[in-house]
Structure 1
Amino acid sequence: MSETVKYVSAKTLTELGTSLFVKGGLLEEDAQVVAQDLVAANLRGLDSHGVSRIPMYLTRIRKGVVNPNPDIKIENITAAVSKVDGDDGMGFLAGHKAMDEAVRLAGQSGIGLVGVHNSTHYGMAAIYVMEAMKKGFISMAYTNSSPAIPPWGGRTAYLGASPFAAAVPSGNETPYVLDMAMTVIARGKIRLAATNGESIPEGLALDRDGAPTTNASKAFEGVCLPFGGAKGSALAMLMDLLSGVLTGANYGGDVKSLYFDHSEPQNVGHLFIAIKPDLFVSKTEFENRMDDFVRRTKSLPKAQGFDEILIPGEPEERKAAKRLETGIPISLNVIKELEHELARYGLDSLAL
């Protein structure tokens, strides 16, 4: 076993997270939802969006900028459109309610569009599209987030990392699950590297003075760089327009920092889309076509250095299966932070 990590079961981490969020003021049902979503991120290898964020979320609840018991309201706008007010609660809760509503609308009208305002950071974006996919729907999830990258040509954090997620169900083959930030690297990964005292590769971020850096702490205080240069910056801008400007949420650099700004709630915006897959062809034909597409893709000639062609989401599914067996590797620094929160609330130690 590595000297820098401990392996913890998904069950233990879920119970730990649930207990901490209940102590933080959430209803047990809501606490379990948030904990399960965080552990799901760890299982899929997105450790930056997993249990390492629990102390930060609890801090925001204690500071009064996250409502532990939100009254989340859904307002129907048209036959295919609804609006969700997250009441400054945990974004996970608003996110699930919004995607559930999008699926409901799509079941009736073929497509469902749901905008969310007064939300907060909602964790791993794949959670929501996977939820819709399991119910048989194609889906997309947009969100804005606190400033992380400059517009192309700028040096000031203005646009969010703003991940985009999409999922397309299949029949018997691997489904398509995309979850990607607009940055070269997710900002949470830089934060995790800073927590663990690790450096980052060149070309990922600038420090607060606009200079390239491999120091994770300086990078976290500075700005991330958009993937694909101007293209990534343009997509991050689109995410802010659709998730912030369109929904009535904050936008244009006004979403408050998760870590550095406890002055007021974030008012993050999300936009969820669900689509029935049998709008143009039958459900059976769609699934057959999807399966055929996956088989064609995976049977294509491989480039040098590659053993197989993977469908988006496939590496994460494999990692999740492995981590369910081996446990989830949690760094000792993250464990230390979690132990501190357990002690704060008088809960039993992890005792690892």
Structure 2
Amino acid sequence: MRPEEAAQAARVLVLAELAGLTTHGISRVGQYLNRVKVGGIDAQAELQVMRVMPALAMVDGRNGIGPLVGMRGLAEAMVGARDCGIGVAFARGSNHFGPILPYALIAAEQGFVTLIASNATTTIAPSGGKDTRLGNNPIGIGVPNPGGDPVILDMALSVAARAKIRDLAASGAPLPEGWATDAEGRPTTDAKAALAGFLLPVGGHKGYGLAVMVDLLAGLLSGAAYLTHVQAWDKNPEVAQNLGHVFIAIDATKLASTESFAARMADFIGILHATPAADPAKPVMVPGERELATLKRQRTEGARVKEADLRILRELAGGAVQG
């Protein structure tokens, strides 16, 4: 990759790692670059941007590295929001772009509210079905907080992410009930059987409905692949996925003064924090609070990284990376 573009993509994965989102952090470097080696991703892709309207942009990732496409989409949405108060960018021709939290954090630090979503490889069956048709499509909302940490929701639409099931399968640990089914649609606690089956959506038919709408926004409207047209990176690593993303940014500085917004956010968060905890050892938190606390701590104290992930990075770097 071109150095400046590699830095943008790395920023997403490193922020994810620092926030404790290890299934979507630096462990993805090997996955991405293995697909580059077999022709599934173009590391030298020349991204194209079309400014459709002052507040609306279309980003063609040209099958580039996903986090790079994501960063370009976020940047274009913020350009529209600076000019018009709200900006939207659709992206197509992309790949797995990491978790949403890093994008929402970057935007929140600049005063932008965001709604970000992506489609994904099919792993979820429609309600009442016994074959996968939908991806575990992530969606996130970030709200800046001039007086403290932003509030960031970053969630996939299954009960658990497939990456977590892969980790359990690798360790031989059992799967919690309600996470997934086997290939016949029967609930299972066998992680390996779950990998051959499909994920269960959060909230049953409600999660299914959200997954459908995310794919319409991120996949269909962007001009990307959608539903079963999305290629599975693990089954066909040499084929372009053509994932789609959507980035909606709102310039919160246009809505209220910094002082007023900070006071209202402090009051809002304070009301939630003041909720009596069912377990005193587990106080009530707002979305993203745990991850942002982890991010702060690891930025100060250093990050704990899985030895296997570090070994792969060293191998990819030809031994140049030192501990």
TMscore range, shorter length? over 0.9
CA deviation digits over 1:162-189, x for unaligned, max 9? Answer: 1111111112133211100001011111
Contact 1:167-1:178 at 8 Å conserved across structures: yes
Could you say which residue in structure 1 is the equivalent of 2:298?
323
Q: Note if 1:185 corresponds to 2:160.
A: yes
Could you say which residue in structure 1 is the equivalent of 2:38?
63
Contact 1:196-1:333 at 8 Å conserved across structures: no
Change (3 A) 1:36 1:207: same
CA deviation digits over 1:224-263, x for unaligned, max 9? Answer: 1111111111111111010011111101221111211135
Contact 2:13-2:98 at 8 Å conserved across structures: yes
CA deviation digits over 1:132-179, x for unaligned, max 9? Answer: 111111111111011011111112121111111111111213321110
Q: Note if 1:150 corresponds to 2:125.
A: yes
Could you say which residue in structure 2 is the equivalent of 1:168?
143
Q: Secondary structure at the match of 2:10?
A: helix
Contact 2:8-2:71 at 8 Å conserved across structures: no
Could you say which residue in structure 1 is the equivalent of 2:318?
346
1:76 counterpart (51, 62, 65): 51
CA deviation digits over 1:290-334, x for unaligned, max 9? Answer: 222112221233334554221111101122233345544444544
Could you say which residue in structure 1 is the equivalent of 2:181?
206
Counterparts in 2 of 1:205-224, with a 5 A limit?
Answer: 205-224=180-199
Contact 1:148-1:161 at 8 Å conserved across structures: yes
Shift of 1:276: 1.4
Contact 1:302-1:309 at 8 Å conserved across structures: yes
Q: Note if 1:123 corresponds to 2:98.
A: yes
Shift of 1:223: 1.0
For structure 2, list consecutive stretches of 5 or more residues without a partner in the other structure.
none
Contact 1:139-1:168 at 8 Å conserved across structures: yes
Contact 2:273-2:283 at 8 Å conserved across structures: yes
For structure 1, list consecutive stretches of 5 or more residues without a partner in the other structure.
1-25
Could you say which residue in structure 2 is the equivalent of 1:47?
22
Contact 2:184-2:197 at 8 Å conserved across structures: yes
Could you say which residue in structure 1 is the equivalent of 2:240?
265
Shift of 1:198: 3.1
Q: Secondary structure at the match of 2:228?
A: coil
**Letter paired with 1:298:** H
Shift of 1:196: 3.5
Contact 1:173-1:294 at 8 Å conserved across structures: no
Q: Secondary structure at the match of 2:117?
A: strand
Task: Give the whole-Å Cα distance in 2 for the aligned partners of 1:186 and 1:29.
Answer: 30
Task: Give the whole-Å Cα distance in 2 for the aligned partners of 1:177 and 1:104.
Answer: 21
Shift of 1:337: 4.6
1:103 counterpart (55, 73, 78): 78
Contact 1:171-1:291 at 8 Å conserved across structures: no
Q: Secondary structure at the match of 2:178?
A: coil
Change (3 A) 1:263 1:64: closer
Moved more, 281-290 or 182-191: 281-290
Change (3 A) 1:304 1:125: same
Contact 2:105-2:150 at 8 Å conserved across structures: no
Change (3 A) 1:29 1:65: same
Q: Secondary structure at the match of 2:44?
A: coil
**Letter paired with 1:244:** G
Change (3 A) 1:78 1:33: closer
Change (3 A) 1:322 1:142: same
Q: Secondary structure at the match of 1:253?
A: helix
Shift of 1:335: 4.8
**Letter paired with 1:122:** F
Q: Note if 1:28 corresponds to 2:3.
A: yes
Identity of aligned residues (%): 36
Q: Secondary structure at the match of 1:317?
A: helix
CA deviation digits over 1:194-247, x for unaligned, max 9? Answer: 334433212111122323222223322321111111111111111101001111
Contact 1:195-1:333 at 8 Å conserved across structures: no
Task: Give the whole-Å Cα distance in 2 for the aligned partners of 1:98 and 1:162.
Answer: 17
Counterparts in 2 of 1:130-145, with a 5 A limit?
Answer: 130-145=105-120
Task: Give the whole-Å Cα distance in 2 for the aligned partners of 1:174 and 1:151.
Answer: 37
Moved more, 189-198 or 132-141: 189-198
Count of aligned pairs:
323
Contact 1:106-1:275 at 8 Å conserved across structures: yes
